[in-house]
Amino acid sequence: MRRTAFAATMAAMACAAPRDVVPESRDVTAAPPAAAAGYEYVARRPLGVVGVAESRGLAPEVVKAVADRIANVVDICATNLAREGRLVPAAGRIAAHIDRDGTPVGLSITVTPGPGPTANALLCFVSPFRLVRFPAADVDPADRGLALEATWGPPGMGKPPPAPLP
């Protein structure tokens, strides 16, 4: 009798509507990669992030090296300002043509408004970028250019605030 009940159960299951054999799950997605967010390359450091918003006429390895160099300088500068209590969370953007001799020219600079962010940006982001020299090339400066965006601030700047106390 047991075999008959078991066979009947198996027959009923075999005739049931088709069902997925994979149990229900929840999709987990990670943050999109930097390129998906619209940046060619992103250099992250503890106190700052530098992203390449656009580059033209420059080798990718040159662009990456410049972004890494500027990110290192931003991080060191922000660390020193934090020690002095003068670090202000802010962001900036530099767009420039690259002259035939490799000098950045025709800079367009945008910075978070205010005296603190402006001072931080000039010291930690704009001045170091002005010192960068790119490989020389006999091309029209309009054909070579770079746009960098940076953000900097104290540690934990991107973390959510702690829960309020009851």
Task: Render pLDDT for 84-117 as a digit per residue (tens, 0 to 9).
Answer: 999 999 999 999 999 999 999 999 999 999 899 9
CA 43 – CA 31 distance, rounded (Å): 16
Task: Render pLDDT for 37-73 as a digit per residue (tens, 0 to 9).
Answer: 689 999 999 999 999 999 999 999 999 999 999 999 9
CB 37 within 8 A of CB 52: no
CA 48 – CA 74 distance, rounded (Å): 6
pLDDT, the chain, mean:
81
Q: Is the pLDDT of residue 21 over 80?
A: no
Q: Is the pLDDT of residue 27 over 50?
A: no
Q: Which residue has the higher pLDDT, 110 or 154?
A: 110
Report if pTM > 0.85: no
**Per-residue confidence (pLDDT) for residue 159, from 0 to 100:** 46
Instruction: Write the single-letter amino acid at 9.
Output: T
CA 34 – CA 30 distance, rounded (Å): 12
Q: Is the pLDDT of residue 83 over 70?
A: yes
17 band by pLDDT with thresholds 50, 70 and 90:
low
Instruction: Write the burial class of residue 90 (CB in 10 Å: 0-12 exposed, 13-18 middle, 19+ buried).
Output: buried
**Per-residue confidence (pLDDT) for residue 161, from 0 to 100:** 45
**Per-residue confidence (pLDDT) for residue 166, from 0 to 100:** 54
Task: Render pLDDT for 126-141 as a digit per residue (tens, 0 to 9).
Answer: 999 999 999 999 888 7
